[in-house]
A and B are shown apart, each in its own frame.
Chain A
Amino acid sequence: MIRPMLGEAWLAMGANRLRTALTMLGMVIGVGAVVIMMAIGQGAQYAVQQTISTMGSNLFIVLAGSFTTAGVRSGSAGGPTLTVADAEAIAELEGVVNVAPTHQGRRQLLYGSQNWNANVIGTTPPYLDARAWTIANGAAFGDSDVRSATRVALIGKTTAQNLFGDENPVGKTMRIQQNPFLVIGVLASKGQNLDGNDQDDTVIIPLTTAQRKVFGTPFLGAVRMIMVQADSAENMQRVMDNVESLLRQRHRLREGMPNDFFMRNLSAAAESEAETTRTMSILLGAIASISLLVGGIGIMNIMLVSVTERTREIGIRMAIGARQRDILTQFLLEAVMISFAGCLLGLLLGLIIALAINAITGMVIVISGGAALVAFAVAATVGIFFGWYPAQKAARLDPIEALRYQ
């Protein structure tokens, strides 16, 4: 039953090509708009995801608490409340992947006649894993360097360029506050973080070296900050809670006493940024689908005209035995075919324009099969929804009236 009707729907579409083409145009523009908007929205989401992944995922930091001397409050991480032993204890917790006690600050660097101010981070090897940082050139320092406080450094791309120019920094000796450091590796570039800070303007040195030679420390083993990486986003909150209760226990804080440390979720900010782009891409899709709706109304309009024009044909078909549902199917099929053909062309058009946008502006676009599938489902729904009323009207015609129609 459906097969001969498909052929007839094809004939009917071919009978007035210009009209069919114009009707389709509504769907072409609608689907095209949805495809382009989704490609751009998903592209923006992808770009944000990329930035987030350079920061390292599922990270939080524990900062040493503040302390007050003679009414002067120190600000966070001012007090000597966190120790390397705390970090070692946190590493034993379930769900913790990497733990890195760190101490950082800006310091002046010297090499030959050049000098440069960069962010100096004193830490342990797990820091590189937690931040998903790789070595582009040279090698990382190991636990033995931390134990013996060797004066070695890993430097970021920006630092390398400003201090060493075109020279290969690996094997060179630079100075941080009079202390010579051997550069053993250059870090792979990460670009900016979400705050716009250049993550490549960095020097990473062993924690112990940093404490003894660069920053100084109230007592050996005290750290200002511990970076912790959880194994998954779902476990994040649980791990944070466990760390909090562990530290309270280790610091012998009684019920009701405030924490002598702070905790901050680094991924939260990134997630809210991702949420914003997600909202934006949904909004873009919603606006684009309004044009799909308009396209659908165009189909309904033309199908109504078609039913009126073909009243006599409908009468003839009924006289020779077409049931109401046969007439309904025929007109519905026609509407769906127009809708589908329009959708296919729209998909193609959207794809071409999205690729053109990418080629011309360099904007990141992501074309997913899911978006195409959604567009198709919508086109079928639009065809059936807007084709239903005209088809119903055709099927309900009185055969005698229809046969008399001129």
Chain B
Amino acid sequence: MSEPVIRVVGLRKSYATAAGEFPALKGVDLAVRPGEYIAIMGPSGSGKSTFMNLLGCLDTPSAGDYFLAGENVAHLSPDALARLRNRTLGFVFQGFNLLPRMSLQDNVALPLVYAGVDKDTRRAAAQRMLEKVGLGRYAESLPSRISGGQQQRVAIARALVNKPQLILADEPTGNLDSHTSEEIMALFGELNAEGITIVLVTHEADVAAHAKRQVRFLDGEIVSDRLTAEIVEQHA
């Protein structure tokens, strides 16, 4: 089997609160191989958001190791983490998080600005990605002119524009109706079929059902880690 994109060993994270140390993650081990499609599930307070922040290099763990594409990133500098977020990861948020004053094309091209890519290349790559998610004709529109589902497609295009090894999606369908949610999940399915590794966080079982593997968190620990195919069999 190939080298994992993500390998997490004994990952711990605790926060200082008024009541003392609060352990949000109590030693998590997980490996994600290239081309996998994983849903992370669990109730609020289970530690899944903390885990996603660590996976997304937005935060550093209290203890343990995190190997992203073979590199231990647990104790890197803020600038090195920014570089990983820019080149290795692609983020998709629940609230879409497009910048309201910029055209869709400029929004999609923004990660390339921080990667230091020249203007013509940026525009061409952003346009390619917009067309890939079916919104090529809205390139010059502002985000407020399009629907929520379309905004999420633009956000996915932005996540993809720098050819990351991994897409991290945090409740990507949380603000969308069920029909639009299906469309977005279908898009993730297509991307995964092209070989892109996807990790998504959700609390909805039918959204998780689109993933190939489901990991369940409870009280800062992984309590189950099974393939969707097995779960379906069990219920059948």
Which residues of A are at the interface with B, using a C-beta cutoff of 8 A? 1, 3-4, 11-12, 15, 312-313, 316-326, 399-400, 403
Q: CA of A150 to CA of B8 in the docked complex: distance in angstroms?
A: 115
B83 touches A321 (CB 8 A): yes
Q: CA of A135 to CA of B78 in the docked complex: distance in angstroms?
A: 80
B79 touches A320 (CB 8 A): no
B97 touches A403 (CB 8 A): yes
Residue B231, interface by CB 8 Å? no
Residue B116, interface by CB 8 Å? yes
A321 touches B99 (CB 8 A): no
A319 touches B114 (CB 8 A): no
Within 8 A of A (CB), among B6-58: 53, 56, 58
A89 → B minimal CB distance (Å): 79
13 contacts between A and B (CB under 8 A): A1-B116, A11-B101, A316-B97, A318-B82, A318-B85, A319-B93, A321-B82, A321-B162, A323-B82, A324-B82, A399-B58, A400-B53, A400-B58
B78 touches A324 (CB 8 A): yes
B101 touches A320 (CB 8 A): no
Q: CA of A320 to CA of B110 in the docked complex: distance in angstroms?
A: 8
B158 touches A320 (CB 8 A): yes
B111 touches A316 (CB 8 A): no
Chain B residue contacts of A316, Cβ below 8 A? 97, 99
Chain B residue contacts of A320, Cβ below 8 A? 85-86, 91, 110-111, 114, 158
Within 8 A of A (CB), among B159-210: 162
B15 → A minimal CB distance (Å): 11
Query: Most A CB atoms within 10 A — which of B53, B83, B86?
Result: B86
Residue B113, interface by CB 8 Å? yes
Residue B145, interface by CB 8 Å? no
Closest 9 CB pairs of A and B: A321-B86, A321-B114, A323-B82, A320-B111, A316-B97, A321-B85, A399-B58, A323-B79, A4-B113
Residue B102, interface by CB 8 Å? yes
Q: Give the number of residues in B that approach A within 8 Å (Cβ atoms).
A: 26
A321 touches B58 (CB 8 A): no
Given known A-B contacts A1-B116, A4-B113, A324 and B79 have beta carbons under 8 A apart: yes
B115 touches A321 (CB 8 A): yes
Chain A residue contacts of B113, Cβ below 8 A? 1, 4
B98 → A minimal CB distance (Å): 8
Residue B87, interface by CB 8 Å? yes
Q: CA of A331 to CA of B15 in the docked complex: distance in angstroms?
A: 31
Given known A-B contacts A4-B119, A400-B53, A323 and B114 have beta carbons under 8 A apart: yes
Chain B residue contacts of A324, Cβ below 8 A? 78-79, 82
Q: CA of A318 to CA of B162 in the docked complex: distance in angstroms?
A: 15
Q: CA of A399 to CA of B91 in the docked complex: distance in angstroms?
A: 13
Residue B131, interface by CB 8 Å? no
Given known A-B contacts A316-B97, A317-B110, A403-B97, A322 and B82 have beta carbons under 8 A apart: yes
Chain A residue contacts of B116, Cβ below 8 A? 1
Given known A-B contacts A1-B116, A4-B113, A324-B78, A319 and B91 have beta carbons under 8 A apart: yes
B58 touches A319 (CB 8 A): yes
Q: CA of A403 to CA of B102 in the docked complex: distance in angstroms?
A: 18
Main secondary structure of the interface of B (DSSP, over half): helix
Q: CA of A204 to CA of B194 in the docked complex: distance in angstroms?
A: 106
Chain A residue contacts of B114, Cβ below 8 A? 317, 320-323, 326
Residue B59, interface by CB 8 Å? yes
B82 → A minimal CB distance (Å): 4
Q: CA of A227 to CA of B182 in the docked complex: distance in angstroms?
A: 104
Query: Most B CB atoms within 10 A — which of A1, A317, A323?
Result: A323
- Closest residue of chain A to B161 (Cβ to Cβ) is A320
Given known A-B contacts A324-B78, A324-B79, A319 and B102 have beta carbons under 8 A apart: no
A399 → B minimal CB distance (Å): 5
A19 → B minimal CB distance (Å): 15
Q: CA of A1 to CA of B116 in the docked complex: distance in angstroms?
A: 6
Within 8 A of A (CB), among B99-133: 99, 101-102, 110-111, 113-116, 119
- Closest residue of chain B to A326 (Cβ to Cβ) is B114
A10 → B minimal CB distance (Å): 11
Q: CA of A290 to CA of B53 in the docked complex: distance in angstroms?
A: 47
Q: CA of A1 to CA of B86 in the docked complex: distance in angstroms?
A: 15
Q: CA of A399 to CA of B85 in the docked complex: distance in angstroms?
A: 11
For the complex with contacts A3-B119, A320-B110, 4 further pairs of A-B residues with Cβ separation under 8 Å are: A15-B101, A324-B82, A399-B58, A400-B53
Chain A residue contacts of B115, Cβ below 8 A? 321
Q: CA of A322 to CA of B158 in the docked complex: distance in angstroms?
A: 14
Q: CA of A228 to CA of B169 in the docked complex: distance in angstroms?
A: 92
Chain B residue contacts of A3, Cβ below 8 A? 119
- Closest residue of chain B to A406 (Cβ to Cβ) is B95
A321 touches B101 (CB 8 A): no
B151 → A minimal CB distance (Å): 13
Chain B residue contacts of A400, Cβ below 8 A? 53, 58-59
Chain B residue contacts of A317, Cβ below 8 A? 99, 110, 114
Chain B positions 53 through 78: 1 when the CB is less than 8 Å from some CB of chain A, otherwise 0: 10010110000000000000000001
Q: CA of A325 to CA of B99 in the docked complex: distance in angstroms?
A: 19
Query: Most A CB atoms within 10 A — which of B59, B85, B116?
Result: B85
Q: CA of A332 to CA of B58 in the docked complex: distance in angstroms?
A: 24
